[in-house]
Structure 1
Amino acid sequence: MQDRDWKAILKKVGISFGVISIIFTVTVGGFIVANLQHMGRLARVVQLVQGDYLEKASFGQLIDGATRGIVDSLGDPYSVYMDAQENAQLMEQIEGKFGGVGIILSLKDPKKLTVLRPIKNTPAAKAGLEPGDVIMKIDSQDATTIDQEKAVSLMRGDPGTKVTLVVYRDSAKKTLTVPLTREPISVPTVEGEALPGNSDLAYIDISQFSTNTANELASVLKNMDMSKYKGIVLDLRYNHGGELDAAVGVASYFVKPGPVVYIVDNQGRTVTKSAEGNFLGKPFVVLVNEESASASEIVSGAIKDEGTGTLVGVKTFGKGIVQTIFPLDSGTSVKLTTAKYLTPNKVDIHKKGIEPDVKAELKKGEEATISPTDRNYDSQLTQAVQILRSKIK
């Protein structure tokens, strides 16, 4: 009786396995048949290049090119394939330490390599590069035909090595050739001081979000002794973002415990990132502009939704998507857009930006006074101080 039971069970298992095998075969076979023409085309191109192309091309070179092409075909400027050198440079940027010339590029027009600002005390700043300079050539490479990722990789390099930039300066209507020697670039992402002329107001500028930014902010706040200040100006202008967890860590000082951002993937699954309970509890304003993007919008969006501070400036950039870096072989990687983020009120700001609570624009030709050294504030900072004063009277 038991033998018969086992035979019946095995028969059912065999039938089930057979059905699954058929389904698998049909599914995979259908995929192969549907894509056979494309795969054949790819194989044919590889064959032609290796057999008939005038120059030598390694198989690894072709695989790199094909991989890059697959990611580029997505049409997403934030999804990129990175070779070993580009991947290493990105890791250095995330850590905030690298060899280069010290240029931050503007996000406003991704097809144009415009200098947002040179980093203080770097080769670019010492050579006199200015915001608005457009990079036309990097050594012998035509910079008008490459993306920002490629441009950054060309400008980075070992300290002591040289690179020459050709830039167009619209304000002077002339082209400049600027030879530079790369140096170790260690970018402090947080600067804090008493606001010149307003000793009871703390001014904090966050230039980007690296892995250490939240720790830097904690250190700056401790060294400043925040008990001496009645209010805070948080400057996030020209901050292109960076590391997600760093943004959450920073937001923890400016919103009460609770959700800072919701991360939603392509299956609708949601991860909640919450403030850590470091809320300062002081009146503050946040300066934002059209170049405040990504992680800086996570901080700004949480503050606006929670109503703990006042956003002053103009509408932010509108990058509400999250990229994940997937390591590949031989030190390469692919960076893909894998999720979108929503503010605490479940607002999707991608391609929309965040409207400030109080609109304040720079005057024509006026430059922002980031980390001011005197009372000659720009129009946005002036208005931010006025609003903050009204809060602490």
Structure 2
Amino acid sequence: MENKKQFIKGFAVGILVTVLLAGGIFAGSNALTKASDEKKAESGELNLTSSQVEDKITEIETLVQNYYLNDIDTDQVENYLYKGMIVGLDDPYAAYYTKEEYQSLMDSTNGSYYGIGVEMSQNMTTGIITITRVFEGSPAEEAGLLPGDVIYRVDDEEVTGEDLTKVVSKVKGAEGTTIPISVAREGESDYLTFDVERRMIEISTVAHKLLDGNIGYISVTSFDDVTVNQFLAALDDLENQGETALIIDLRNNGGGLVSSACSMLDRLLPEGLIVYTEDKYGNRDEMKSDVENYFDKPLVLLVNGNSASASEIFAGAIKDYGIGTLVGTQTFGKGIVQKIYPLSDGTAVKLTVSKYYTPNGNNIHGIGIAPDVEVELDPAVANEVVIPEEKDNQLQKAMEILTEK
């Protein structure tokens, strides 16, 4: 009986929060008449406070409390009320986050976390989640996980189709604990399962070195809070070493903070527009570079099909300004912007709020950015954790282009 009382309370709370999200009024109010309900329905306006919706929820609630056999997880019922509203938008990038999921998301951009040391990307059409990078010396590498592994189960729960951020939160946990990760691997007839220890993972989003011919090389694996200073420090160090040209590697960089990407572009571009966004009302928000600094040496940008979102903002600006050559394969094609809205109870929702456009006015959503020089990575090295410089044919092509210049 106590569970059923909590269940009813869960339904009531769920209805209330849903109404607040929709900008409506409290359930049970007489302010919304049948006529206004019909008018909103005709206009396509979201109206989750309509009498029909309230009546149907009450009807389901009554059936559940009278006939449902098993115990009720009231927290789960409440969470799925909110999740259902967002799922109904049919937007693979929208999501509802519980308190734990939201906290995990915030932790993932602060520079360190307890995890296994991998980066993942998701095919938004199939829901398939793939490991794109395994950190050197990480628990994931020690356990035997490889780039290209398709994640099937995390902690014995299937994750295909789950929101990627939620999968990341499942992987994280208390330091020293282990988590089973099941993957599908090319050439293997059955799933492989690895017990991987969680440890403190220090995120170094930028690596750099000076290559032969005084060509600078900077790899950027994601755009986080820490990335801007790491990138600027790497660029300064290479210039102090006498670099004459530069390669920036955005392969397998799934994006991150647009603000970080724009701050880095401000150091490279001449004065002008970096990117702009437009919302559903046509409101335009522009991000610009100033005249203080710009990069005036030969530049190559390495990209591939896992270069997405903020990486494409970066690549689009470089291409539109004509200050660098894109080498690799077509980028992912994510030209929309999501924003996370924290809610009063510590949960949050992520919504698609605008489209972004390159300086020349191109929206590349569902299309991607074509490289100036197309080069497929040699399949023989595609699944290696660290690809030796001499075997990386995309990198070698970039060096060849810069040497000729």
Q: TM-score surpassing 0.5?
A: yes
Question: Per the alignment, in what secondary structure is the counterpart of residue 122 of structure 2?
Answer: coil
**Residue 46 of structure 1, aligned match among 61, 72, 84:** 61
1:285 corresponds to: 300
The amino acid that maps onto 1:292 is S
1:118 equivalent among 134, 137, 159: 134
Query: Alpha-carbon deviations, 1:171-190, whole Å to 9, x = none?
Result: 34443221111011221111
Residues 249, 303 of structure 2: 8 Å contact kept: yes
- Contact 2:121–2:164 (8 Å) recurs in 1: no
Gaps of 5+ in 1: 1-24
Shift of 1:141: 1.2
Q: SS at the partner of 1:106?
A: strand
Offset at residue 30 of structure 1 (A):
3.4
Q: Does 1:100 align with 2:130?
A: no
Instruction: Specify the alignment match of 2:24 in structure 1.
Output: none
Residues 330, 371 of structure 2: 8 Å contact kept: yes
Instruction: Tell me if structure 2 keeps the 8 A contact 1:367–1:378.
Output: no
Structure 1 pair 28–297 and aligned structure 2 pair: CA distance change class (3 A): farther
Whether 2:215 is the aligned partner of 1:210: answer no
Say which SS state the counterpart of residue 268 (structure 2) adopts: coil
Relative distance call for 1:222 and 1:28 in structure 2 (3 A) is farther
Counterpart pick for 1:177 among 182, 189, 193: 193
What is aligned with 2:22? Answer: none
* CA displacement, residues 182-218 of structure 1 (integer Å, 9 cap, x when unaligned): 01122111111112xx150111000000122111111
Change (3 A) 1:39 1:359: same
Please report how far the alpha carbon of residue 383 of structure 1 lies from its aligned counterpart in structure 2 after TM superposition: 1.1
Q: Report how far residue 370 of structure 1 moved.
A: 8.6
What does residue 369 of structure 2 align with? 354
Post-superposition Cα deviations, 1:88-131, rounded to whole Å, max 9, x if no partner, equal 11111122322111222233465223222212222111212111
Q: Report if aligned partners of 2:146, 2:384 keep a CA contact under 8 Å in 1.
A: no
Which of residues 260, 266, 276 in structure 2 aligns to 1:252? 266
Stretch moving more, 30-39 or 230-239: 30-39
> Which position in structure 1 is the counterpart of 2:18?
none
**Distance across 2 between alignment mates of 1:50 and 1:41:** 14
What is the CA distance between 1:56 and its match in structure 2? 3.8
Matched, 1:30 2:44: no
Residues 189 and 145 (structure 1), Cα distance of their counterparts in 2 relative to 1, 3 Å cut: closer
Deviations 1:63-98 (CA, angstroms, capped at 9, x unpaired):
321111110111111110000111011111122322
- Of stretches 59-68 and 267-276 in structure 1, the one that deviates more from structure 2 is 59-68
* Cα contact 1:240–1:296 (8 A) shared by 2: yes
For residues 224-261 of structure 1, what are the alpha-carbon distances to aligned partners after superposition, in whole Å with 9 as ceiling and x for unaligned?
A: 34461000010001100000100101112221121100
Take 2:51 and 2:341, find their aligned partners in 1: how far apart are those partners? 27
Matches within 5 A, 1:224-373: 224-226=238-240, 228-276=242-290, 277-367=292-382
Inter-CA distance 165–87: structure 2 relative to 1 (3 Å threshold) = same
Q: Which residue of 1 aligns with 2:210?
A: 194
Given that 1:189 and 1:216 are in contact with CA atoms closer than 8 Å, whether structure 2 keeps it comes out as yes
Asked whether the equivalents of residues 245 and 297 of structure 2 are also in contact (C-alpha less than 8 Å), the reply is yes
Letter in 2 for 1:200: N
Cα distance 1:178–1:227, how it changes in 2: closer, same or farther (>3 A)?
Answer: closer
Are 1:167 and 2:172 matched, yes or no?
Answer: no
**Partner letter of residue 90 of structure 1?**
L
CA distance in 1: counterparts of 2:64 and 2:317, whole angstroms: 53
1:205/1:370 contact within 8 Å kept: no
- How many residues in Structure 1 have an aligned counterpart in Structure 2? 364
Given that residues 179 and 198 in structure 2 are in contact (C-alpha distance below 8 angstroms), is that contact kept between their aligned partners in structure 1? yes
Contact 1:49/1:57 (<8 A) preserved: no
In the alignment, is residue 381 of structure 1 matched against residue 386 of structure 2?
no
For structure 2, the 5+ residue unaligned runs are 1-29, 42-49
- Residue aligned with 1:78, SS: coil
Distance change (3 Å), C-alpha of 1:369 and 1:144? closer
- Which stretch shows the higher mean deviation, 252-261 or 262-271? 252-261
Gap change, CA 1:50 and 1:347, over 3 Å in 2: same
Cα distance in structure 2, aligned partners of 1:250 and 1:350: 22
- The answer to which of 220-229 and 82-91 deviates more is 220-229
| Partner residue in 2 for 1:83 | 98
1:297-342 per-residue CA deviation (whole Å, 9 max, x = no partner) reads 0010001000111111111100011111100132100011101100
Mapped contact 2:95–2:163 kept (Cα < 8 A)? no
Give the TM-score of the pair, scaled to structure 2: 0.83
- Larger-Rg structure: 1
Q: 1:382 to 1:111 in 2, by over 3 A?
A: same
1:101·1:185 contact (CA, 8 Å) conserved in 2?
yes
State the alpha-carbon separation in 2 of the partners of residues 315 and 202 from structure 1: 24
Q: TM-score, normalised by structure 1?
A: 0.86
Structure 2 SS opposite 1:252: helix
After the TM superposition, which of the residue ranges 60-69 and 308-317 deviates more from structure 2? Answer: 60-69
Contact 2:253 / 2:306 at 8 angstroms: preserved in 1? yes
State the shift of 1:358 in Å.
1.5
CA 1:370/1:59 → structure 2, altered by over 3 Å: closer, same or farther?
closer
